[in-house]
Structures are given as structure tokens and as C-alpha cells.
Amino acid sequence: MSDRVVLVGCGNMGFAMLKGWLDSGALEPQAIHVVEPAAMLRQRAGELGVHTVAEAGELSADLNPRMVLIAVKPQAMAQVLPAYTRFAGDVTFVSVAAGIPVALFEKHLGDKAAIMRVMPNTPAAIGKGMLVVYRNAHVTDANAVFINGLLKTSGEVASIADESLMDAVTAISGSGPAYVFHFIECLTDAGVTVGLDRDLAALLAMQTVYGAGALAAQSHESPTKLREQVTSPNGTTAAALDVLMSEDRLEDLITKAVEAAKKRSVELGKA
Ligand SMILES: NC(=O)C1=CN([C@@H]2O[C@H](COP(=O)(O)OP(=O)(O)OC[C@H]3O[C@@H](n4cnc5c(N)ncnc54)[C@H](O)[C@@H]3O)[C@@H](O)[C@H]2O)C=CC1
Ligand SMILES: O=C(O)[C@@H]1CCC=N1
């Protein structure tokens, strides 16, 4: 069986995953064929040494890929899939699209097609992603091992046996980096409000999120315990947390945001 891989769509997410495979050495650039209609994005991928084409018809008929990873927008999926039916066979199709259920892939690719859904996030570009996997019964164990090996180059991999959880997964880890980036923006702006110049405020906000995230990931203590370690009785942190935590203000806001993301994922799946 070949280790050739086709990556369909090399935008934000596709490129992040491509970087993970290449930076880790898990795949040789020559094993990867990128289909990307946008010339600038095709050139960006080509600079990494991979094969690039603008459309599926340009892929060699005897390519025999082991995996076709589809990273196009959910709204484009139904239009994109028919061009890949010719690869159905030993290949496993992997979709990273929010919302789109396995049933839609089976409708276009046949009900015997091997399909995996993966919900990654953009920190995959530096090997720090969170990737959650759901697969249908037609993915062979050998292909699942091969693909899991590739996914692990992008970060932590977890799997779910209930596809309906994918909407909640998307709302937490798929979209989650944007919530954190927005928190950095807010902390930076707040720093400016209390008198720091913007560059210093941005450095403090970014390094604080980076350091706190790394500490939470590496420590044996819970986030609750780590929070308590920062919070001196009647000190500065307690004053701030009174604002964030009284009446669960931040938790309520985050829950509302996550519920909105989950709802949108469900809608995308029905589009
Ligand atoms: N951006 C993110 O953080 C995450 C995105 N996703 C999913 O990844 C998918 C892609 O999202 P992004 O990368 O953000 O979007 P994007 O717009 O950056 O990338 C999509 C790419 O697909 C290309 N494309 C369009 N039609 C095509 C075709 N017929 N053949 C090949 N390529 C084609 C576009 O030119 C574009 O470069 C979406 O389904 C999204 O739900 C999943 C998790 C996180
Ligand atoms: O915003 C979106 O729809 C995609 C899915 C998860 C992150 N980005």
C-alpha cells in the first residue's frame, strides 16, 4: 500500500496540518499531492516541496493514495466530493470540516467508503494542536494506525465513538484557539487602558497566556488549584476574580459562546 496522501484545500487548516506532517518528517514532501485552486496558496504549499495542482482532474489516475484529507469549507463539500469518487477503494477519506456528517460523505463516495472525521485546530501548525477523531466501520485498522500516526505529528489525538459529540468538540477545541486569541486581545487592550504602551501590553498578555497554558498542561495540579496559588487573600488577583467570577459572569459568557458555536456546527451539517 502506498503512503501517498492527497490534501484537498490548503487554506488555514490544510496548511497547518501539512506543516505538521513535514516538520515532523512523518511524510516526505514527494508523497503529498495538494489540490488548491487559489494560486497564492498553491505556491505557498509548493515552496514546501509538495506536488501541487489546481483541481482534482490534474491528479494522476494511478496515484492510488492511502489518504485523501479534505480541508475545504463545509459549504463547498457537496460540490468538491464527486471529483474524488474515482479514488474510493483502499483509500481513507478524512474530513476536517465542521458539521458535515459521515452520512454526507457516504452519499457521495458510496456507503462502503472508509471515512474519518477529524476536528483539528490551528495550533496543529506547531505540533500543539488538539485533534478529535471519529471513524466509520470501513476504515481498516492498518489505515487508522497510519492516519493516527500522521495526526499525532500535529498534536494530541483523542477519539470519540459517538459522532453527535463532534459539534460540541468543534465548539470547544476546534474554535477554541480563537477564544484564547480574543482573550489575548482583550488583556492587551486592558493593559493599554491601565497605562501600559501597546507593545509592552501585548508582550505581557501573550506571554502570560503562553506561560499559564504551559503550566496548566505540565502541572499535576488542577486549574482550580493553580488559580488559587495565584490568588493571595484580599490581594490583587482576588479583586480581579471578584469581577470575573461573581455571579459566574465569565463562565456564563463562555457557555453562551460555546452553545452558539455548537448550534452553528449543527446548522452547517444540515446545509
Ligand atoms: N480554521 C480553523 O481553525 C479550522 C477549520 N476547520 C475546518 O477546515 C476546513 C477549512 O477551513 P479553513 O482552512 O479555515 O478555510 P480556508 O478558506 O482557509 O481554506 C479552504 C481552502 O479550500 C480551497 N478550496 C476551495 N474549493 C476547493 C476545491 N474544489 N478543491 C480544493 N480546494 C478548494 C480554498 O481555495 C481554500 O484555500 C473547514 O471545513 C473548517 O470547518 C476545522 C477546524 C479548525
Ligand atoms: O469557524 C469554523 O467554522 C471552523 C471550524 C472550527 C474552527 N474554525
Give the pLDDT confidence of 23-51 residue by residue, as tens digits. Answer: 999 999 999 999 999 999 999 999 999 99
pLDDT at residue 271 greater than cutoff 80: no
Give the pLDDT confidence of 118-156 residue by residue, as tens digits. Answer: 999 999 999 999 999 999 999 999 999 999 999 999 999
- Quick one: pLDDT band at residue 52, thresholds 50, 70, 90? very high
Q: Which domains does the chain have, with CATH numbers?
A: 5-171 (3.40.50.720), 176-270 (1.10.3730.10)
Q: Among the atoms of ligand 2, which is closest to the Cα of residue 268?
A: 3
Q: Kind of pairing, strands 114-119 and 129-135?
A: antiparallel
Supply 122's cell numbers.
Answer: 490551528
Give the pLDDT confidence of 155-195 residue by residue, as tens digits. Answer: 999 999 999 999 999 999 999 999 999 999 999 999 999 99
Mutating to test ligand 1, I would choose from 34, 73, 266 the residue with most ligand atoms within 8 A of its C-beta, which is 73
Amino acid in position 266: V
Backbone angles phi, psi at 100, to 5 degrees: -65, 120
Supply 243's cell numbers.
Answer: 469581577
Give the pLDDT confidence of 74-101 residue by residue, as tens digits. Answer: 999 999 999 998 887 779 999 999 999 9
pLDDT at residue 252 greater than cutoff 90: yes
Q: What is the DSSP string of 13-57?
A: HHHHHHHHHHHHTSS-GGGEEEE--SHHHHHHHHTTT-EEESSGG
Q: What is the pLDDT of residue 1?
A: 61
ipTM: 0.98
Residue (of 141, 81, 147) closest to 118 by Cα position = 147
Separation of 168 CA from ligand 2 center, angstroms?
A: 12
Q: Is 122 in the pocket of ligand 1 (CB under 6 A)?
A: yes
> What is the SS3 string spanning the chain?
CCCCEEEECCCHHHHHHHHHHHHHCCCCHHHEEEECCCHHHHHHHHCCCCEEECCHHHCCCCCCCCEEEECCCHHHHHHHHHHHHHHCCCCEEEECCCCCCHHHHHHHHCCCCEEEEEECCHHHHHCCEEEEEEECCCCCHHHHHHHHHHHHCCEEEEECCCHHHHHHHHHHHHCHHHHHHHHHHHHHHHHHHCCCCHHHHHHHHHHHHHHHHHHHHHCCCCHHHHHHHHCCCCCHHHHHHHHHHHHHHHHHHHHHHHHHHHHHHHHHHHC
152/26 Cα distance (integer angstroms): 10
Cβ contact 154:129 at 8 Å: yes
Q: What is the DSSP string of 62-86?
A: T---SEEEE-S-GGGHHHHGGGGGG
Q: Is 11 in the pocket of ligand 1 (CB under 6 A)?
A: yes
Supply 59's cell numbers.
Answer: 491528479
Q: What is the pLDDT of residue 90?
A: 77
Ligand 2 site, CB within 6 A: 98, 170, 174-175
Q: Is 36 in the pocket of ligand 1 (CB under 6 A)?
A: yes
Give the pLDDT confidence of 189-212 residue by residue, as tens digits. Answer: 999 999 999 999 999 999 999 999
